Amino acid sequence: MNTQIDISNLERIGDDDHDSIEISLSSGEQYLVFTLGDELYGINILSVTEISGWDSAALVPNAPNYVKGVINLRGNIVPIIDLRIRFEVGEVTYPKTTVVVILSGLVDGRERTVGFIVDSVSDVLDIEQDSLQCSSSFDGTVAANYIDGIINAGDDVVTILDTNKLLSINS
CA 80, CA 159: separation in Å to the nearest integer?
A: 21
Does 106 bind other proteins (CB under 8 A)? Our answer is no
Q: How far is the CB of 146 from other proteins (least distance, A)?
A: 17
Q: Is the Cβ of residue 120 or residue 170 nearer to other proteins in the bound state? A: 170
3-state helix, strand, coil in the chain (%, to 5): 15, 45, 40
70 touches other proteins by CB under 8 A: yes
**In the complex, minimum distance from the CB of residue 57 to other proteins, in angstroms, rounded to a whole number:** 7
CA distances from 136 to 13, 126, 143 (A): 11, 23, 12
Helix (H, G, I), strand (E, B) or coil at 154: coil
Asked if residue 60 binds other proteins (CB under 8 A), the reply is: yes
Amino acid at 151: I
Helix (H) or strand (E) holding 89: none
Selected from 9, 27, 61, 96, the binder of other proteins by CB under 8 A is 61
Residue 113 or 131: which CB sits closer to other proteins?
Answer: 113
Give the nearer residue to other proteins in terms of CB position, either 115 or 149.
115
What's at 157, amino acid-wise?
Answer: V
Instruction: Determine, following the binding rule CB under 8 A, whether residue 164 of this chain makes contact with other proteins.
Output: no
With contact defined as beta carbons under 8 Å apart, do 171 and 80 qualify? no
Q: Which of 77, 106, 134, 142 binds other proteins (CB under 8 A)?
A: 77
* Residues at the site binding other proteins, with contacts judged by CB under 8 A: 56-63, 69-72, 75-79, 110, 112-114, 170-171
